[in-house]
A and B are shown apart, each in its own frame.
Chain A
Amino acid sequence: MGLFILRRVGVMILTALCLTFIVFYLTNLYPNLEKLAKTQGNFRMSDEQVESWLGNRGYLEPTFVKYGEWLGVVPGYDIVGADGERRGRCFDSTMNPDDAPSLCGILQGDWGSSTVFKEPSSKIIATRLGLTGKLMLWVLIVMVPSALVVGVMAGMREGSKLDRSLSTFSIATTATPEYVSGVIFIAIFASSAVGLKWFKGSATSAMENATLENFTLPVLTIALYGMGYIARMTRASMAEVMTAQYIRTARLKGVSFKNIVVKHALRNALIAPFTVIMLQVPWLLNGVVIVETLFNYKGFGWVLVQAAGNNDVELLLGVSVVSVVVVLLTQLISDIGYVYLNPRIKVS
């Protein structure tokens, strides 16, 4: 087991390195840097001015060197620019260049600073991640129990009317992407023209003070899309367990149907959905980006859109590191959990 985890962690680190390098490469392509220079400096800069602006700030070094600097394994650049000013990766105009450390990358905890928000990336990401964490927590609280209940109810009597209607419901939810269900929810519950006016169509105020009124719709929108898939997996797993020999034995012994479901079937039926739930988390990340844009909730997904839209290189890299780590960690947890829950599987 230990070796298995170790190997998985090794692959994980390799994957994370590859992915961040791809993001790094794509954001550091010359047209992107040119756009960055023009938005940061001056829109009327000539090509030579753009080049010297970039050169002064170390953007024109080879990609691998820049990646190493960002990672913190290669000393940060220290350039006396064409305009005579000395600039470096590890110090700014307020510091004495000679006191600065030579290495400053994410390994040293320096995530760079955002060119759009004019703040350290790590600070932005931490606050926004907190807000998204709140959203995700409520999504999971709503989504997982309801998905499991729907799945178990549908799977315990396969082919019944209840099964048919619940299965159709879960198909319908998987067929409704967030930007569709969000629009429909706003139309029904929040529109000021027609509709019920129960909830608010914007979640901006939920960032400080989440109430039922401003937080229900975003949570419901994300939960609904992810729910159908988990419910279908639970149904399949439950239906399979219900045909097993020991369930028949329990029935013949005269155990009541309720007891069979709760005591005998449920535990074994919940192994498969656990993996699915964990693997669903990265998927929720997509939903989060859409929902945060739609409901104007300024969390992690909103930052991703802002950073990507403005080619804010260091912030975007920070965002992708976090999201890649989330994806890989959930994969790892789902694998380990699966082995742990299912005694029939042995890794070694």
Chain B
Amino acid sequence: MEPLSWGEIIIRILGDMMPTWIALILMFAVSIYYKRNLGLYGKLFDSTIGMIGLAIVMFWVFTGIFSAMDLVGTHDPLGQISGMKNKVPGTPVRGNPEGIYEYYLLGGDNLARDVYTRMVNGSWEVIKIAPFATIFAFMVGITLGLPAGYYGGRLDTMLSFLANLILAFPVILLFYLLVTPEIIATGIPVYMAGVLFIFPIIFFVILFNSRFFTQPSKRNIYLAVTILLGGWLYLGIAWDADPLGVVSFPSNVLVVFVSVVFVNSPTVFRIVRGLTLDIKTRDYVAAAQTRGEGPWYIMLWEILPNARGPLIVDFCLRIGYVTILLGTLGFFGLGLSPESPDWGSTINDGRKLLSVYLHPALAPALSLLSLVLGLNLLADGLREESLRD
């Protein structure tokens, strides 16, 4: 068979990504139709930059999800086909075997795996870690930043010192110290996970308790659900001790997750603390204090909702930063398994032969670039729209 020309490659890739396009078009059609009822999210569709950003981000989200479901991607991301090593994009699979896709659309890498499929699957590696790591970092940052800003004093001094301590660490040094097999053997990442992952439970318990403590029956239901569900996930994720045996987390992913959360929470802490310092001087906070509301009610139900604008914007930017960090970890071969199709590892694999074969490194590099760019544009759009009202 003849190798494909670039035009044919592009058409075939677009065709293979059909599920992603359908999902994207559906999402945009529904969102634009109902945009007046969707609050800040709906307003995003008034800003071109925000829409472009959202489209790029959702493109990778859908691609990631569909590649995990095997709807997008042409080959097995780990499968090697002999004779396809470092082949240029559009090379037909040698020997024309039955039952598999007949081309390597973006060529083969140095282990004769399909670059296109690995690129598509790499997005799933990001999508399944980055947003959750960011959410955890926000939970930790919010739970500690609110009281630090609200109470001030010695608590603030101590927490700020700790945050600056972590921030003064060069990130790569920290990764090298935390994400090694020897450190995993000592169990330190598990203890860190044990500390960091308890914050979401604390957050929700305080959140519900401060609001509903006057209605004990309602509060008890909320607290019971939070503690049962949260505790179950907590045991499974952090300690790998789920009594039902359903939730578990591979230890190498856990250590990556923990270190990313650990690096990001001090920055979130500083942002939340700064916002709290600003907002606590407002009249509605004074009104709540005069009403006799408890400090945690004021922090979580008065201050936090009013700080949501900058926090949402930072959330988008931070997912992008976490994506970059995950790529950095992969680039230095830390944490994730060497076979993993995540973009950082693939770039690291491809760079050794970069001057001869471009495609194995270029495809994941451009993917990572586009995802982070999309997140940045999305954040910009959100900022613009949230400032408008």
Chain A interface residues toward B at CB < 8 A: 11, 14-15, 18-19, 22-23, 26-27, 29-32, 34-35, 171-172, 174-177, 179-180, 183-184, 186-187, 190-195, 201, 282, 285-286, 289-290, 293-294, 301, 304-305, 308-309, 311, 319-320, 323-324, 327-328, 331
Contacts and interface: CB of A to CB of B under 8 A. Distances in A.
12 contacts: A11-B161, A22-B169, A29-B182, A179-B331, A179-B365, A180-B368, A187-B362, A193-B358, A311-B182, A323-B173, A324-B169, A331-B168
B6 to A, nearest CB: 13
Contacts of B169: 19, 22, 324
B141 interface: no
Contact of B173 (A35, A171, A293, A319): A319
A35 to B, nearest CB: 6
A10 B324 CA distance: 34
B97 interface: no
B310 to A, nearest CB: 14
Contact of A309 (B161, B170, B176): B176
B119 interface: no
A124 to B, nearest CB: 16
Nearest to A177: B324
B172 A289 contact: yes
A325 B186 CA distance: 29
B358 A15 contact: no
Given A15-B165, A175-B320, A328-B168, A187 B354 contact: yes
Chain B interface bracket (under 10, 10 to 19, 20 to 34, 35 or more): 35 or more
B177, B180, B380 — most chain A CB neighbours (10 Å):
B177
A175 B362 contact: no
Given A31-B186, A311-B182, A286 B177 contact: no
A72 B324 CA distance: 39
B344, B357, B365, B377 — most chain A CB neighbours (10 Å):
B365
Contacts, number: 139
Given A175-B372, A184-B369, A289-B170, 6 more contacts: A29-B188, A175-B369, A177-B328, A186-B351, A192-B355, A294-B351
B202 to A, nearest CB: 25
B170 A171 contact: no
A35 B185 CA distance: 12
Contacts of A309: 176
Given A29-B186, A290-B328, A183 B362 contact: yes
Contacts of A191: 354-356, 358
A301 B188 CA distance: 26
B289 interface: no
B373 to A, nearest CB: 4
Contacts of A179: 327-328, 331, 344, 347-348, 351, 365
Contacts of B168: 15, 19, 282, 324, 327-328, 331
Nearest to B53: A171
B377 A180 contact: no
Contacts of B366: 180, 184
Majority SS of interface residues in chain B? helix
A331 B368 CA distance: 31
Contacts of B324: 177
A175 B376 contact: yes
A305 to B, nearest CB: 7
A286 B351 contact: no
Contact of B380 (A171, A190, A294): A171
Interface string B340-383: 00001001101100111110011001101100110111001000
Given A35-B182, A174-B376, A193-B358, A293 B170 contact: no
Interface in B6-52: none
B68 to A, nearest CB: 23
Given A285-B170, A320-B173, A176 B355 contact: no
A53 B329 CA distance: 33
A225 B151 CA distance: 37
Contacts of B365: 179-180, 183-184
B286 interface: no
Contacts of A304: 170, 172-173, 176
Given A27-B177, A176-B372, A184-B362, A193 B182 contact: no
Nearest to B343: A180
Contact of A29 (B176, B183, B355, B376): B183
A172 B371 CA distance: 11
A186 B362 CA distance: 10
Given A15-B168, A175-B372, A177-B368, A192 B347 contact: no
Contacts of B327: 177, 179-180
A293 B369 contact: no
A186 B354 contact: yes
Contacts of B183: 26, 29, 31-32
Contacts of B354: 183, 186-187, 191, 201
A290 B355 contact: no
Nearest to B181: A31
B165 A18 contact: yes
A186 B355 contact: yes
B377 to A, nearest CB: 7
B324, B328, B344, B377 — most chain A CB neighbours (10 Å):
B324
A289 B173 CA distance: 10
B176, B178, B327 — most chain A CB neighbours (10 Å):
B176
Given A26-B183, A190-B355, A290-B331, A308 B176 contact: yes
B164, B173, B183 — most chain A CB neighbours (10 Å):
B173
Contact of B357 (A176, A193, A286): A193
Given A19-B165, A328-B168, A305 B376 contact: no
A27, A31, A180 — most chain B CB neighbours (10 Å):
A180
B316 to A, nearest CB: 12
Interface string B114-142: 00000000000000000000000000000
A29 B376 CA distance: 40
A333 B328 CA distance: 29
A187 B177 contact: no
A319 B169 CA distance: 12
A180 B369 contact: yes
A183 B361 CA distance: 7
A191 B361 CA distance: 12
Nearest to A326: B170
